[in-house]
């Protein structure tokens, strides 16, 4: 057994030691709260009014000319590029599309689709959206749809008050959306999730990546349980005059006799994992065969597969976040899974009507790596550039950053101001992994800096909670995967065109930065 070394942890799979660093490499570690602490790491509940977000961009440029690329601010020295990006992200243009009510309040995913037109084949941006009433819709983005005789065009209204009219008008024209005939269908029940393979959703697009499939799940209602489907995007849509029907591209993979709350799929879109009221199950998307990997009495509300597809993060109704290793799966019944008694953390004991000191869970899990939040988990997002870190949100409004290696010590960063009490509200992280966004029950949309925890944007943009959020896919690949991580991150950030989509009961919204 390898011995413990101060400041290092041992990775058995890689058979080597790694240093334990701060929450984001290159930064100092913030104070780690005790497990019983309910105090946030940051007390800011309003967007910062310092030089970063309160002054004009020209002021930042002037300071850089005088002091170089390292700025001396009230909270210490900061890099000019980071501060400039924070300033930009705090001033978006927000558009609402008329006629999209009840179209995108359950699930949302920006995608690319191929389209055959009279002038040849082209790839266009699109948004696949699901609703609580079971409607699944594919919206085309851009001016292409203006030239077609069939379908519906949706007009945008600017609802973001922080941007000048001339900028909003030019952006409004660029972000026209439309829905062709046959691109909206009614599913068997509420759409509970829409997921792309993580490689595709992170936009590492290249000619060698030919798996263009989207996983769609339904919640289930009454006796009929949830179901999992695959929507094929490989073949181009014929339009006009051919059919744009998405029903013909939908394949039913598997049905369950339980509720499906969430789902995720691996990078090759060969397998998916679903979170249900019975636990978590892996589904082969080719054969439909199912194997349970985690079972318990607490619903799995949130899930995240890691890059390798070998480990699943599961967020439970009881506030636990467990790590499930799926490399070895028992054949046959879920009863063959290893049973664990996991003690609740002090955080969980503060919740009313929770007198138990432990709960039972079956699966190939490591109880010592279980993290807890004060209430039910609503969303989980693993960071790709820093694969030991993940973001989690809970129904009490908590948004936290965790380190897998230090999960028992609690969160290493918090993000204040979020409002939630009972809703499965989503988190979304931009492709450069600098910012995290979430909508709240107070109808506000918020954006934080992942690194510093600063609240950069907070605005009431809807009359109902923005329950679905997603950053838009970028158009250029990350670069040579053999290069150093920091260089990859820099290239990815430079290729990024910030755009985001979010939805509420009131309709579909677009957020952009001209």
In the 8-state DSSP scheme, what is residue 308?
T
Residues 223, 386: Cα–Cα separation, whole Å = 42
Instruction: Kindly give the parts of the chain with pLDDT less than 50.
Output: 25-55, 65-66, 163-174, 200-210, 349-353, 475-495
CB distance 412 to 392 below 8 Å: no
CB distance 484 to 492 below 8 Å: no
The predicted pLDDT at position 204 comes to 41
Q: What share of the chain is helix, strand, coil (3-state, %, to 5)?
A: 15, 40, 45
Closest CA to 120 of 89, 97, 144, 104: 144
Residues 202, 449: Cα–Cα separation, whole Å = 19
SS3 (DSSP) at 404? helix
pTM to 2 decimal places: 0.80
CB distance 314 to 275 below 8 Å: yes
SS3 (DSSP) at 38? coil
List all residues 6 or more positions away from 377 whose beta carbon is below 8 Å from its beta carbon.
Answer: 301, 302, 315, 316, 317, 319, 320, 321, 392, 393, 394
* Per-domain boundaries in the chain: 48-89, 93-512
Residues 33, 433: Cα–Cα separation, whole Å = 24
Residues 454, 89: Cα–Cα separation, whole Å = 12
CATH code of the domain made up of 93-512: 2.130.10.10
The predicted pLDDT at position 152 comes to 83
Structure tokens at 9: 């942890």
CB burial of 452-461 (b: ≥16 within 10 Å; e: otherwise) equals: bbbbbbbbeb
CB distance 278 to 302 below 8 Å: no
Interstrand relation of 444-449 and 107-117 (parallel, antiparallel or unpaired)? unpaired
């Amino acid at each position: 057994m390898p011995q413990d070394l101060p400041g290092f942890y041992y990775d058995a799979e890689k058979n080597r030691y790694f240093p334990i660093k701060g929450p984001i490499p290159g930064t100092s570690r913030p104070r780690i709260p005790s497990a019983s602490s309910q105090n946030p790491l940051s007390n800011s509940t309003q967007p910062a009014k310092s030089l970063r977000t309160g002054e004009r961009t020209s002021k930042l440029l002037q300071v850089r000319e005088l002091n170089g690329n390292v700025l001396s601010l009230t909270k210490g020295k900061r890099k000019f590029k980071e501060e400039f990006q924070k300033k930009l992200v705090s001033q978006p243009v927000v558009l609402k599309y008329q006629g999209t009510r009840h179209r995108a309040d359950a699930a949302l995913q920006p995608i690319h689709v191929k389209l055959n037109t009279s002038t040849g084949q082209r790839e266009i941006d699109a948004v696949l959206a699901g609703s609580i009433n079971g409607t699944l819709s594919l919206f085309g983005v851009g001016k292409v749809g203006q030239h077609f005789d069939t379908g519906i065009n949706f007009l945008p209204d600017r609802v973001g008050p922080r941007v000048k009219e001339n900028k909003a008008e030019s952006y409004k024209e660029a972000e026209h959306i439309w829905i062709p005939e046959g691109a909206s269908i009614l599913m068997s029940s509420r759409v509970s999730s829409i997921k792309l393979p993580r490689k595709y959703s992170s936009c590492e697009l290249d000619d060698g990546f030919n798996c263009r499939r989207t996983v769609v799940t339904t919640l289930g209602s009454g006796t009929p349980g949830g179901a999992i489907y695959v929507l094929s995007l490989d073949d181009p849509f014929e339009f006009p005059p051919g059919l744009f029907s998405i029903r013909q591209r939908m394949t039913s993979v598997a049905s369950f006799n339980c509720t499906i709350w969430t789902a995720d799929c691996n990078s090759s879109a060969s397998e998916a994992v679903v979170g249900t009221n019975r636990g978590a199950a892996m589904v082969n998307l080719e054969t439909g065969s199912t194997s349970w990997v985690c079972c318990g009495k607490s619903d799995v509300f949130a899930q995240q597969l890691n890059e390798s597809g070998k480990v699943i993060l599961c967020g439970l109704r009881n506030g636990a976040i467990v790590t499930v290793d799926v490399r070895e799966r028992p054949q046959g019944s879920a009863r063959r899974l290893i049973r664990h008694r996991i003690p609740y953390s002090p955080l969980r004991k503060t919740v009313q009507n929770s007198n138990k000191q432990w709960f039972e869970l079956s699966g190939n899990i490591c109880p010592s790596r279980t993290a807890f939040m004060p209430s039910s988990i609503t969303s989980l997002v693993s960071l790709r550039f820093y694969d030991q870190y993940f973001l989690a949100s809970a129904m009490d409004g908590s948004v936290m950053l965790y380190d897998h290696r230090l999960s028992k010590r609690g969160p290493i960063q918090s993000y204040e101001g979020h409002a939630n009490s009972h809703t499965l509200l989503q988190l979304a992280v931009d492709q450069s992994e600098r910012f995290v966004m979430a909508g709240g029950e107070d109808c506000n949309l918020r954006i934080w800096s992942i690194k510093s925890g600063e609240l950069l944007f907070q605005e009431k943009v809807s009359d109902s909670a923005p329950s679905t959020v997603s950053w838009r896919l970028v158009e250029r690949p990350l670069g040579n995967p053999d290069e150093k991580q920091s260089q990859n991150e820099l290239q990815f950030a430079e290729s990024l065109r910030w755009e985001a989509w979010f939805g509420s009961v009131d309709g579909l919204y677009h957020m952009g930065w001209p």
